[in-house]
Structure 1
Amino acid sequence: MSQLALIDAAPVTTGRGLPGIQPFSVLRTDLGPWRDRRRAWEDLGLHSRRGREHVTTYKTADAFGRKMAAVNAGLSTFDPVLAEASYSWYCPEGGRVLDPFAGGSVRGLVAANGGYQYTGVDLSPFQVDANEEAAADWRARDLLAAEPRWIHGDALEELPALPAGHADYVFTCPPYHDLERYSDHPADLSAMRWREFAAAYSAIIAETVRCLAPDRFATWVVGEVRGSTGYLRGLVPLTIAAHDAAGARLYNDAILVNTLGTVPMRLGAQWRASRKHGRHHQYVLTFVKGDPRKATAALASL
């Protein structure tokens, strides 16, 4: 098994972890240890944009918007180091990971590489096919210690079919409402109006909490998004409230500092016109279902 052993993983004081990457409340993806680890993952071949070529990312169709899309390759990608660190911090070794918004292949491949039993749900058949193709490539190169599983379908329909307590850890990154438009499918959250989105999103969260075993953690990586009038929608408080209503309490919150990318190019005009900050961070919200001490003990005992 040629797992990602390119960088020796020395444990941090709080449990399994990665060298130079600590569970601080600010996660710096722009610092050397994080960048080095991410490069090691990318060298293995992570093609997280496959299956997402049809996604539209910029609401404006003007020349500047098209320029930004071209610079950004038109798509957001998930950070494999965040996935690896989160699994090591919150999931029992060899545990079952549930991802209701599977998206690209990164979270599934990183989980399977580390020996976790990953199940992801995604509405796009193209995305599921691309993910399975990537997994086949990693399997052929002996990079999988477990078999990732992707289910094609609507999370609101697929999650109820899973037994209660199925997952040892929920880890996902949901659509940030209509920031990225994935399809015109009526069940696609990114194509819904905000009220419809909020209702469906909250229902999916309730199902993931039902699927989560007692005394276990769940991590949602979310970012705020603005409505058509410029005000922030409140995706973060919605995520917290929906978990609380479902029986999972907010336990940790962290800021994930992303690379600047095109932010400096956009900042000047948007600041002068509307005093909108140049956003280059996401929120990493970790919830616990049950007793956090028992959830932590389950990690330490394995």
Structure 2
Amino acid sequence: MQQTLPDDTTAKPRVDVDGIYPFSILRSDRGVWQNRKRAWQELGFDSQAGREGVKTWDTSSPFGKQQLMKISNGLSTFDPVLAEVSYEWYVPPNGRILDPFAGGSVRGLVAGHGGYDYLGVDLSQRQVEANEVQVTDWRDRNLIEDGTVEYITGDAAEVVPTLPDESFDYTFTCPPYHDLEVYSDLPEDLSAMEWDDFVDTYTHVISETARTLKTDRFATWVVGDLRDRKGNIRGLVPLTIAAHEAAGMRLYNDQILQNVLGTVPLRVGNQWRASRKMGRHHQYVLTFVKGDAKKATRNIIDLEAE
């Protein structure tokens, strides 16, 4: 497969992706990460396509839940470098990846470019169609050659249970942070549910993704906490951990993804003075193991050597 991203260092072990190492703090605000991110972006992502009409909210506001101004179109976008290093660290070559909350195109395109087989599930037909347009464009430009990128339109709580047992080598996803971004008013949309319904459905999806994962494999969920209407933290991170443990998996690595500050300094002053709410600019990268971590690691290394 032709090399289309720059390789700024000489021959190096798999542990290192252009100077980005598997430390507990991932500094996406550092130059080496930002340079890599720009290289990916130059290949052509449209992370906002298919997301028209999404409502974004600031639950840290001292005045209650407030709709955010349209900064960067007001929507979160997934970091392609995080996808790249996660695949490099945890997936066997040509492995199969399941993404039950596919959202935008980034995770699928990075997977296909890396030679992996990716299956994304998303509730929005418009989102899936927008992603498929980009997949076709990348194939036409020979940016996806060895890998495959496919999508299923539907509710993850209904689609994932139809997938075969132990048919994937890795789960990688970034689920809705409850109602921090509201994607639709459909009753099956996690972002439109009441919290208790969200907890039940979210736990069910995690249980089913664990079933579809092969034994001695890893799964990574990128999550962040949010606040309820009274300003208290919901606890999406401990919920994600508890749901995986109930499904027979164990938390193996926990990382902090430190994001670029962006508009946080502009907002933190008022919210801190009014309510002592801190400015949040990080997410959690939680990696779980099904089975034995050493065997899961050997599965990656042995296939690399073939």
1:22 aligns with 2:18: no
* Structure 2 equivalent of residue 50 of structure 1: 49
Post-superposition offset of 1:40: 0.2
Secondary structure of the 1:286 match is: strand
Distance 1:234 1:10, change over 3 A: farther
1:92 aligns with 2:92: yes
Query: Aligned partners of 1:274, 1:10: CA distance in 2, in Å?
Result: 50
Secondary structure of the 1:69 match is: coil
Secondary structure of the 1:45 match is: coil
1:115 aligns with 2:124: no
Query: Aligned partners of 1:101, 1:258: CA distance in 2, in Å?
Result: 21
Q: Name structure 1 gaps, 5 residues minimum.
A: none
1:74 aligns with 2:74: yes
Q: CA RMSD in A?
A: 1.8
Post-superposition offset of 1:17: 3.7
Distance 1:233 1:10, change over 3 A: farther
Structure 1 segment 155-166 matched on structure 2, within 5 A: 155-166=156-167
Contact 2:49 2:130 in 1 (8 A): yes
Query: Aligned partners of 1:168, 1:212: CA distance in 2, in Å?
Result: 6
Contact 2:15 2:21 in 1 (8 A): no
Post-superposition offset of 1:301: 0.6
Alignment size in residue pairs: 299
Letter in 2 for 1:228: R
* Structure 1 equivalent of residue 182 of structure 2: 181
1:250 aligns with 2:251: yes
Letter in 2 for 1:194: W
Letter in 2 for 1:131: N
Post-superposition offset of 1:204: 0.1
Query: Aligned partners of 1:132, 1:243: CA distance in 2, in Å?
Result: 30
Post-superposition offset of 1:218: 0.1
Distance 1:3 1:183, change over 3 A: farther
Identity of aligned residues (%): 60
Post-superposition offset of 1:3: 4.4
Query: Aligned partners of 2:211, 2:10: CA distance in 1, in Å?
Result: 34
Q: Name structure 2 gaps, 5 residues minimum.
A: none
Structure 1 segment 118-267 matched on structure 2, within 5 A: 118-145=118-145, 146-267=147-268
Distance 1:4 1:69, change over 3 A: farther
* Structure 1 equivalent of residue 292 of structure 2: 291
Query: Aligned partners of 1:4, 1:159: CA distance in 2, in Å?
Result: 33
Letter in 2 for 1:52: R
Query: Aligned partners of 1:211, 1:273: CA distance in 2, in Å?
Result: 46
